[in-house]
Amino acid sequence: MKSICFNISAGCAFLFVLTAMPVYAKAKKSKYKAPAATHCRLIEAYTQRTLSGIPGAEPTNNTRIVVIWKGSAYPETFFWKGPEGGYFNCNSEKAHALSASLKKKYPKGIDYETEPAAGDNIRKGDTLMLTPVIGGKFPIPAQIPANATNRLYYQTGNNGKWYYISVTKIGTKPDIAMP
């Protein structure tokens, strides 16, 4: 009788461990969400070379990321973690697509007219052009994984959480020749 009670209690304990195991074995939820549908939507990302009008001057390569801001809270800051390595602060500008008649007035390769934008003057529905600033040292916040690439990280004005958008395709646009 004693061995039957022992076997039943051991069996119950074993069954309890098996059923409780999935509760403790759940993977940790990631702190990083890709809320593209909530805060912003990627329109395009591209690299473009600007040829200086000064003879002998080196051309500059710029990566530009165009997004539509969809969040009710303004974006606090943007950082780019691209394929070239490094972690770069981004300049943000409001962008307006050029109409066909206006494109004739600008050098070939320019598709947007921009104006300065920062912080609380960015509203829901604004199109933003983000340009990573090459140079300078910007420490990577501890919450952002060091091995991630092709991601645009940002914070909103109402909380300290970091969000990101994955940029899977970076196109190339024609060179801009400055006068």
Q: For residue 141, what pLDDT band results from cuts at 50, 70 and 90? A: confident
Q: For residue 96, what pLDDT band results from cuts at 50, 70 and 90? A: very high
Strand partners of residue 67: 42, 128
- Answer yes or no: is pLDDT of 172 > 80: yes
Q: Taking residues 124-135, report their average pLDDT.
A: 91
pTM of model > 0.85: no
pLDDT for the residue 86: 77
Strand partners of residue 95: 114
Mean predicted lDDT score pLDDT of the chain: 78
Give me Rg for the CA atoms of the chain: 25
pLDDT for the residue 27: 37
- Answer yes or no: is pLDDT of 133 > 50: yes
pLDDT for the residue 113: 92
Contact indicator for 81, 153 with CB cutoff of 8 Å: yes
- Answer yes or no: is pLDDT of 50 > 80: yes
More confident residue, 20 or 91: 91
Percent of the chain with pLDDT over 70: 78
Could you tell me which of 132, 129, 173 has the C-alpha nearest to residue 149?
A: 132
User: Which two structure tokens, joined as six digits, stand for 26?
Assistant: 């759940």
pLDDT for the residue 131: 94
pLDDT for the residue 34: 41
More confident residue, 18 or 63: 63
More confident residue, 21 or 78: 78
The β-bridge relationship of strands 112-116 and 127-132 is unpaired
Q: Where are the beta strands (DSSP E) in the chain?
A: 40-51, 60-69, 75-81, 88-97, 112-116, 127-132, 151-156, 163-166, 171-172, 176-177
Contact indicator for 162, 155 with CB cutoff of 8 Å: yes
- Answer yes or no: is pLDDT of 82 > 80: yes
The 10s digit of each residue's pLDDT in 28-40 is: 444 544 444 478 8
Could you tell me which of 79, 89, 88, 71 has the C-alpha nearest to residue 159?
A: 71
pLDDT for the residue 144: 80
Contact indicator for 52, 58 with CB cutoff of 8 Å: yes
Instruction: Give the DSSP letter of residue 121.
Output: G
